[in-house]
Amino acid sequence: MLKFQKVLRFSPPEIILFLVLLAGSACGFALRFGRVLRKIREAKPDADFRLHPIGKRVGDFVWEVLFQAKVIRERPLVGIAHAFVFWGFCAFALVTLNHFAAGIGFPFLSRKNWFGSLYFGMAALFAVAVAISILALFIRRFFIRPKWLGEQVSVGSGFIALLIFTLMITYLVQYAAGDSKWMWWLHTLALLIFLPLIPHTKHLHLVLSP
């Protein structure tokens, strides 16, 4: 039986440690991402660029980015796996903010009310889908490995997959068994390691492509 989310209590030293680690992770992300943005801004403007028609741009954004329709159409099985990972990132944005807020004693979502219960349940479903998808993508990249991927194996991609898988599993454990400090810290460390790695990997497209 699923347990209600309990409010974790952190001591002042634990809160200070969390804030220091969070600041370091955010700075690591900002430094690299700032350089990427500067390179983009220094690029030569496209003389033919036009914002109009706005309606078509919005439609393309919804269809190709939010629905991931183009990726799924071009590579159905792999595309669906990538889509679930993307949708999982979107679904977990609010969960992650709440997770960080819990670290300083101010969580804003709770399974004791209908919205929190519904949202945490939805996130759990996405966590299962993302865990299966990232495991399948890992097996494909490192064991099946289509020829067009080349012979060089990316250790970084494997590490990122491990972090994402860890995030999903730690969330599901807490969802099913109730929160614990050990699980909270393990989930937090995976998040804080993952964040500054994003601008250094292909996962940067999750931020820039939309």
* 42 in a structural domain: no
What is the extent of the structural domain holding 117? 75-145+152-210
pTM for this prediction: 0.87
Give me the residue label for tokens 């403007």.
Answer: 45
The answer as to whether 194 is a domain residue is: yes
Angstrom distance (rounded) from CA 102 to CA 136? 32
**Is 207 within the bounds of a domain?**
yes
In a domain, residue 99? The reply is yes
Residue 134 lies in a domain: yes
Helix (H) or strand (E) holding 60: helix 54-60
**77 vs 80: CA distance, rounded Å:** 5
Q: Tens of pLDDT along the chain (210 residues)? A: 444 456 688 999 999 999 999 999 999 999 999 998 898 888 888 888 888 889 998 999 999 989 999 989 998 999 999 999 999 999 999 999 999 999 999 999 988 899 999 999 999 999 999 999 999 999 888 887 777 666 676 788 889 999 999 999 999 999 999 888 999 999 999 999 999 998 888 778 777 776
How many folded domains does the chain comprise? 1
Q: Are 159 and 193 within 8 A, CB to CB?
A: no
| 60 within a domain of the structure (yes/no) | no
